[in-house]
Amino acid sequence: MEKLMDDFVLKMNIRNFSKSTKTSYESELSKYLRFCEEEKNSINSASYQKYLSNLIAVKKISECSLKQSIGAVKFFLSTLSVYPTN
């Protein structure tokens, strides 16, 4: 998981994300990866749908937090398909 996070941070740096965006995206991605690990889910869009359902139904997060999570993981998942990590 650490390599995934390191690659993610590198890709945000390449895209010149602001420091605050990088910090919040790292935090959101960390939560998603932890969820996948705990639930033994693969990292893909299907597991992200489960994660979002959990955030909405169980955690009852705010709309703003939900949008931030969506942005972070959407960017992460898009980088996986564009830049495969081996």
Could you tell me the residue ranges of all domains in the chain?
A: 2-11+19-82
Specify the pLDDT at position 81: 58
Per-residue pLDDT of 26-72, as tens digits, reads 999 999 999 999 989 888 888 889 999 988 988 888 888 889 999 99
The CATH topology of domain 2-11+19-82 is: DNA polymerase; domain 1 (1.10.150)
Q: What is the average pLDDT across 5-18?
A: 92
Three-state SS string over 19-53 comes to: HHHHHHHHHHHHHHHHHHHHHCCCCCHHHHHHHHH
Tell me the angle at which helices 19-39 and 45-54 cross, rounded to the nearest 10 degrees. 100
35 contacts 41 by C-beta, under 8 angstroms: yes
- Does residue 23 carry a pLDDT above 50? yes
- pTM summary value: 0.79
Burial label, 76 (beta-carbon count in 10 A; 0-12, 13-18, 19+): buried
